[in-house]
Structure 1
């Protein structure tokens, strides 16, 4: 464990803190003895140690002897001064070790927090796309932010208590037993009783906490969806619908949070009241031992009461921590749900790293379904190296699914997809995707500069490489006119640019990557005629001497393809060049007539 040394140092400091914490009350006994001394004191013989059985009597006599001797030699005020210096030293050491214990645990707490966040982000990047299409993004965001913080406030703050408070109680109890075994029996009765009463209050806490965190994920999702769809919300005057949905969620959050905090707030007063009850019993019984039986000295009794109160603070902290654990438990479960999710698309143990593409992409007898119905049924297609194959058909015919399967965003249910006779499931995902460039219908760009958006394609590219890629994609013309050229920030999702400009940047990114296989998923479907002409020209530049799978939307994008595959309901109905298919007078010709390549 990387934080082992911090943990060990924290434990050592806490041991010393607990020891000096208990000693700080014991140190009051000699001070009180000096203060309570009145008149002439009886001469005491120097005590002799006679074994551990009489240790308490020996230490008491030794202390009395020392006080009397010193008072005779230096006077009562000098003795009191020495005692006070001793107390100040003990309190200083107690607080020093307390600070050092917290200093070391800080590195451990924040280090674990950082590691959990990093592990969650890595898991988010590793998990397949279907995992997130089933979950709300806001819920995932809540887990990586507020749930992880909840773990820090609850579980990781327990680390501070797990050694310090029990040790403080242990040392304090040891001194209490030493001072008065009879009185300590009351304390031993009190601790389990109060523990039981406190646990009754906290029983439902985990359930309430789970509701709070789930609701937080829900309203974060609404915020995320609202920001992503503001145009639609405003365009359809739907502000009131979303406003109501958000207010309903925050109302539930308000109610659940109140229930949770009101239960939580019971912890401290409950434990304090129980604590003062036991102090009251101790005062009554201890008073009897001092005034009636005479078996306990008054100063020892006062120090004992101090020690008994010294147990209350750690006991309160432990009861609060008990609530923290219950609350943190549900946050931890939500975090672990993501961390423990195994990716179904995980690389095999001896996954092949494929460095180049040599001859052929084979899609063999593929069946695939997203949920219940098969989107592809017994689909077979070969794409030889250097050729361009276009997939056309109506919406829902399974065209985009092919792109998702070839890039292994999903795995086939039956059949296989092979590259150079190697099943893509046997390849490492990293090496498979490094052979491919992807241009999607929605140009996915990030809130960064043009340069950094393109560097995703090739991290070590020079500015000359970037400009060359922009020229191939017909994008240099508008990029050079931006305020800071390639160093201009293009806004959230590239929203400072037009649709055609965004798409050309997506193409430039794929060009910069320079992969042997290019997958174009309806890359021109969202563009106007002028933009389409520029993008189409960019695509043709890019596809030269490259293997391409083109999911087509418009006729103009595919006329020059080496093969056109017409799909209907997950099956191939026609296949051939543009001229061959026109002559067949079948499904393709109907699509051409309708100009609908959706």
Structure 2
């Protein structure tokens, strides 16, 4: 598909999605164009009066105006013609402001729609989309490229406006002096054709601009998220230099792109003036009234900036295409990961969750989960243990529907998980990951994020259940203390307990603890373990654990290796099977002795 066809297709999409805005713009443009044409004509009688106050041989335009003046009883005078001329200019200026407002409204309405649709598509995708896409590319698309698209929407609307204005502007000189106007247009088109060859260069620069921006923003995001390790290794200069190299690459391309866009109208304008002067020189012997020649020249010179801007806008639109193409590619990629939505709304768990012969593999990794079978009864507490990479966390992703099995089935109350509306199930789940993510707001707001309708008593009850009540009360601002970006102002144990309280606040049917104590100190681990033990029987709990001391109260433990269950029983039974995998794990953690 050619670049022109792409632009037309994009414009059609915008037009069909927001027809009312474009219809309003079209009406304003027609009215403004007619007023602009009339404004040009109002200078003719004014010029005739200045050249000959008696108006013995008025031009055609002046004769029409005199007829209007006579009809309304307006006396012929310098002030009458002057106010007539100025009045139309003021009206024309007011309409230009209205058109500018309409264009900006179209731009931001479309931009808001693009943001909304893009985020909806992204968050309708499974976790695999986010885990496989480059986060710098995603950030750049939402933060920078969508801004470029928004600007270009304005350019497209402006170009649409300018084409209509240009047609009306040129109708006046065509009526007053057709030969001069046609000669000028032929020359202008001839001078303008070489500039269209710059479209390919503009597209190439736009592509480079998008790629370098992806890289720069990706590096910036990475070094900000890695600030602790950068400081710890003393690599501040290296991190800064790495980003600045990427930034310089982006800026160099951006400068070339913006210079090209600026240069086009600056070079075209004098060539357009030359075309108008040549046309005037060729037709000057036709003995046209000076006032009409002046009106023709003014119309042509008024049209030149529009033509120059059209060329500039054309360059800008070709420059934006890579941004739009990247947006479409990401949206298509997210669409491939679109979640499978069922029709049934999940109300509450009645029986339990069952894995039946489930297989799953990540791209480039065969056999992540193989023939997995597990049953979690309602109100039960089950634990998944095993070495790193055995597939424990993948099981939690499968339970949440973030990943889908390549074969086999997951059932909730004997109904396939895929048969439920995914969010209706997830809203009944409390999830605490290994890395507790808190938002840069207060503890209260972090808790309410999970359950916005909870009252004060429910907030403190959730904190109490998570063994977080005491430390929260001791904070300077209590529950209204700001936790910092990602909870950086809290210790690891405090973050984890707030995350647990957040999960408990919604009174979930299923609580998933994904290695929630693996990075904690002993005291914090004991507190979290105490919280977990208090929950026994009150809700269904799935624990993914590295530290085996946290699963003593589990009804059943599944020991995983290479994506499969190799042992399954209670803690008490597994801990006495000498030579077993679970037993050896207990030995390594010092929870049993060799004598046992």
When normalised by structure 1's length, the TM-score is 0.89
Q: In structure 1, what is the Cα distance between the partners aligned to 2:553 and 2:140?
A: 49
Task: Name the CA shift for 1:152/1:360 in 2 (closer, same or farther; >3 Å).
Answer: closer
Q: Do residues 568 (structure 1) and 561 (structure 2) align? A: yes
- Secondary structure of the corresponding residue to residue 418 of structure 1: strand
Task: Name the CA shift for 1:364/1:197 in 2 (closer, same or farther; >3 Å).
Answer: same
Q: What's 1:402 paired with?
A: 395
Q: What's 1:30 paired with?
A: 45
Deviation at 1:328, TM superposition (A): 2.3
Deviation at 1:409, TM superposition (A): 1.0
Q: What's 1:322 paired with?
A: 314
Give the superposed CA RMSD.
2.7
Instruction: Render the CA deviation track for 1:153-211: whole Å, top value 9, x for unaligned.
Output: 22223313312x22222122222221122212213313432342221123211221122
Instruction: Render the CA deviation track for 1:347-383: whole Å, top value 9, x for unaligned.
Output: 5565211211111311111111112222111111122
- Secondary structure of the corresponding residue to residue 265 of structure 1: helix
Q: How does 1:499-510 map to 2 (within 5 A)?
A: 499-510=492-503
Which residue among 364, 388, 393 is the counterpart of 2:386?
393
Q: Is the 8 A contact 1:347 1:427 kept in 2?
A: no
Q: In structure 2, what is the Cα distance between the partners aligned to 1:596 and 1:166?
A: 80
Structure with greater Cα Rg = 1
Q: What's 1:86 paired with?
A: 84
Q: Is the 8 A contact 1:454 1:508 kept in 2?
A: yes
Higher mean C-alpha displacement, 119-128 vs 561-570: 119-128
Q: Is the 8 A contact 2:513 2:544 kept in 1?
A: yes
Q: Is the 8 A contact 2:126 2:339 kept in 1?
A: no
Instruction: Render the CA deviation track for 1:88-145: whole Å, top value 9, x for unaligned.
Output: 1221221121122223333222222222222233333322222122223232222112
Q: In structure 1, what is the Cα distance between the partners aligned to 2:53 and 2:424?
A: 90
Which residue among 568, 587, 592 is the counterpart of 1:593?
587
Q: Do residues 368 (structure 1) and 366 (structure 2) align? A: no
Q: In structure 1, what is the Cα distance between the partners aligned to 2:564 and 2:257?
A: 55
Q: Is the 8 A contact 1:473 1:542 kept in 2?
A: no
- Secondary structure of the corresponding residue to residue 572 of structure 1: strand
Q: What's 1:10 paired with?
A: 25
Q: In structure 2, what is the Cα distance between the partners aligned to 1:440 and 1:349?
A: 24
Deviation at 1:467, TM superposition (A): 0.3
Deviation at 1:5, TM superposition (A): 4.3
Q: In structure 1, what is the Cα distance between the partners aligned to 2:286 and 2:215?
A: 62
Higher mean C-alpha displacement, 119-128 vs 88-97: 119-128
Q: In structure 2, what is the Cα distance between the partners aligned to 1:596 and 1:223?
A: 43
Q: Do residues 184 (structure 1) and 181 (structure 2) align? A: yes
Which residue among 530, 543, 546 is the counterpart of 1:550?
543
Q: Do residues 478 (structure 1) and 476 (structure 2) align? A: no
Higher mean C-alpha displacement, 407-416 vs 380-389: 380-389
Q: In structure 1, what is the Cα distance between the partners aligned to 2:471 and 2:65?
A: 94
Q: How does 1:414-425 map to 2 (within 5 A)?
A: 414-425=407-418
Q: In structure 2, what is the Cα distance between the partners aligned to 1:582 and 1:473?
A: 28
Deviation at 1:535, TM superposition (A): 1.1
Instruction: Render the CA deviation track for 1:299-349: whole Å, top value 9, x for unaligned.
Output: 322222112112102111211111221122222222333344454564556
Task: Name the CA shift for 1:582/1:145 in 2 (closer, same or farther; >3 Å).
Answer: closer
Q: What's 2:431 paired with?
A: 438
Q: Do residues 273 (structure 1) and 266 (structure 2) align? A: no
Q: How does 1:23-422 map to 2 (within 5 A)?
A: 23-37=38-52, 59=60, 62=63, 79-163=77-161, 165-290=162-287, 296-344=288-336, 346=338, 348=340, 350-372=342-364, 373-422=366-415
- Secondary structure of the corresponding residue to residue 325 of structure 1: helix
When normalised by structure 2's length, the TM-score is 0.90
Q: Is the 8 A contact 2:45 2:62 kept in 1?
A: no
Deviation at 1:286, TM superposition (A): 2.5
Q: Is the 8 A contact 1:353 1:431 kept in 2?
A: yes
Q: Is the 8 A contact 1:403 1:521 kept in 2?
A: yes
Higher mean C-alpha displacement, 466-475 vs 189-198: 189-198
Q: In structure 2, what is the Cα distance between the partners aligned to 1:395 and 1:40?
A: 98
**Which sections of structure 1, spanning at least 5 residues, go unmatched?**
45-56, 291-295
Task: Name the CA shift for 1:596/1:431 in 2 (closer, same or farther; >3 Å).
Answer: farther
Deviation at 1:542, TM superposition (A): 2.5
Q: What's 1:49 paired with?
A: none
Q: In structure 2, what is the Cα distance between the partners aligned to 1:532 and 1:364?
A: 33
Q: What's 1:54 paired with?
A: none
Deviation at 1:40, TM superposition (A): 11
Q: In structure 2, what is the Cα distance between the partners aligned to 1:555 and 1:308?
A: 84
